[in-house]
Structure 1
Amino acid sequence: MLFWIIAAALVAVIALLFALALLRGRGEDEMAPAASYDVQVYRDQLRDLERDVERGVTSREEADRAKLEISRRMLEADRKAQAGSDLGRAPKGPTIALVIGGVVIFGAAFWLYTRMGAEGYQDQPIAQRFADADKLYDSRPSQADAEKMQKARATPPANPDPKFLELMKKLREAVAKKPDDPKGLELLARNEAALGNFDAAWKAQQRLVATKGDAATAQDYAELGEMMAVAAGGLITPEAEKVFATALKMDQNNGLALYYVGLMMAQNGRGDRAFRLWDNLLRNSESSDPWVPLVQQNIEELAWLAGEKDYTPPRPRGAPGPSQADVAAAADMSPEARQQMIRSMVERLNDRLAQEGGSADDWARLISSLRMIGEVDRADAVYGEAKGKFGSRPDDMAKIDAAHQAPAGQALQDMGGAQAGQSAPQAAPALPGPSAQQMKDAASMTPEERQQMIQGMVDGLFDRLTTEGGTPQEWARVISSLATLGQTDRAKEAWGEAQKALADKPDALAQVEAAAKSAGVAQ
């Protein structure tokens, strides 16, 4: 309260001083300008002139001429004096406006402080902030207390399906009869969580971990910690922290445990530590990992808290290639500038895979990109390396094979990167596509004309495939092209037609499916 008294008193004093200055204008001494003094002098001169005439010092004619001149000067001085007295008064309009403006500013400042200010909040050095964070960390509620608080504020769950409740009843009875059955405990934990019974879910998961003993994995512990955190309303309690610590002791790269440890740091005033954990996590996560969207939503704010200026979040592995901004920028580039941009992105992807590795989608994208820019030999070398990594995984190899078998010349044209005089590589089998003359003509087109030409070729290929059929490479190409053009619905339609046309050819359909998955139109 003392703060408000002092603040109000200071504002009142300042406002009063302003008001007095406006109302009084200039002081009394200043209100008598030099012109007023001159008028008095001229009057004295007129009286002295009359005395001189009476004494015979000055003739009447000379006195009349002098009176005329003195009178003229006196009138001018009087006019200036009158004008000066008007200037000494404060104008009413600006005065009222200034008073109203002061009231508005004071009121706005008061309103803003009540919204955003913190009365009595002192400056906090970094050491004090860390000390406060430690206190917050040490004063966390236990798992049981946190769950009680969560139950008190939780809304009643929606009525579940009666059939599901009946199945859950049977599952609970089965687990009660076989309390050490890992499969039953696993099903019980997951389905209790699905019902919203997170307390029962983490206890079932805890029994599962105990039953497995030394066979329990880091992921088992991480899932147990997650269920405990959800049951506690998102708070990472000391008990849950110990579980996540066990998971990270078994696997220091466990993404789920790293996410929740970072969340715990953020909850307890250590955004700097949370940022370092999540930044590293994002760099080593797949784009499909469930924590990636949550990290991406908060990482920039944590970067600001950690003092990182101009921070750009890294892309997780398997993330889509160029952003919408990249595509929009490329549309206005010359063919040479566009080709250079594409090449730089390919080199960055190549470097990352060489240093950190990546998913099959990443390898497939690198192979198709290298073929797109005409470096077929490098694409073949990368393909050989990818076979060594994913040869034992049929689904992953299907994606890589589809990328390797895509026609290089067509891929180049699909990206609008044809250059005058550049012939299409001949490593891939020839497929219907643009002629050499069409590719040469594309170099002189505007971005809109080139886009229209590409759209026409894709439409033509789509129509031919739906009426006459075609090879799996052609189906894969039309799906990828439509997705690249942003026509997702048509790409899904093409995938559906391909499934019908190649239903009796599993190997061919697998190639098309890999392209459809890469395009995001197949599960």
Structure 2
Amino acid sequence: MLIWIIFAVMTGAAIFALLWPLSHGRVAALADASDATSLYRAQLGEIDRDLARRLIGPGEAEAARAEAARRLLRASGDETDPAGETESSLRRRRATSALALSCVPLLALLVYGAYGSPGNPDQPLSARLQADPSRQDFALALSRIETHLANNPSDAKGWSVIAPVYLRQGRYDDAANAFAAAIRHGEPNSEALAGLGEARTLAAGGVVTASARESFAEAVKLDQENARARFFLAIGKEQDGDAPAAITALRDLLGTAAPDAPWSAAVRQRLERLEAETAGSAITSLAPADRQAAIRTMVDGLAQRLKAGGGTLPEWTRLIRSQVVLGDRTAAMDALAMARERLTDAAALAELDALAVELSLKETAP
């Protein structure tokens, strides 16, 4: 209803702007050119032209002017309406006013009906910010939290909510500031400190900086099982060139991980890569005989670990290939059979069958 009241006021203002000059301005544009005064003035002009063309003499012209002037004065004295305001001009002015009163609102309604949305309710931002958060889109919810924090900068809970959002969006500097504000205005906790360290690390392009390590160390002090902090501390050791310490830290992390931990696969993958790089670097510096013994020791260690339990398809594949390369086909066939027992999903079994064909171990297939 409010929108229609606003439209009515705007339409009235537009009509008033059109009618005001017609009612208070000069009306010469609408005056009747055939009234008596205009006729007598035209006669005076005609006398001057006849005199110029010598159609009449000066005396005759003077007499004609006097007569026209007397008629002009008489006509001017007899007028009761303003000069030029005849009945016909008044009708035209009234017609113009009626046209403005009718056409302007009609034209406005037609344009709004064609291009507007009169059926949609108004949706001011303040009302949307107060709406049910479950019905808001993500951007609006984020805007609501940011608006709240701008007015309440000491709200630690608000900062702890928005900090992980910034982190997922790749706004690492904003995330670091938000985590720092949550810690500053609230009780320091392990997750907030780990988040602060991760944001600082990612803001530095993946380098575990000194300030990030301080945050991770504080997080581990508060919670020794904080997997995120321990993982980045291990990466920091790797970046320092201390690969053995990084490997030990990653192994300890996996040793305390829950069987269904979502991050264990990423940690295991990084550990395998680091172990392979470290072993490869150490083995290449050995003599040929020692190198072969070192490789066999690594393969046996992998076999013992997989036999003890667990193991992924890439790990079983690497073990089987290594045993074939070392010439121990019996161990490779035993490892293949054990892998089939441990890995029961169809995709993994298909990969193992393809590996058996590739390495001529097909006879071990059940």
* TM-score tier (shorter): 0.3 to 0.5
Give the structure with higher Rg (CA).
2
Scaled by the length of structure 1, the TM-score of the pair is 0.30
In the superposition, the TM-score normalised over structure 2's length comes to 0.41
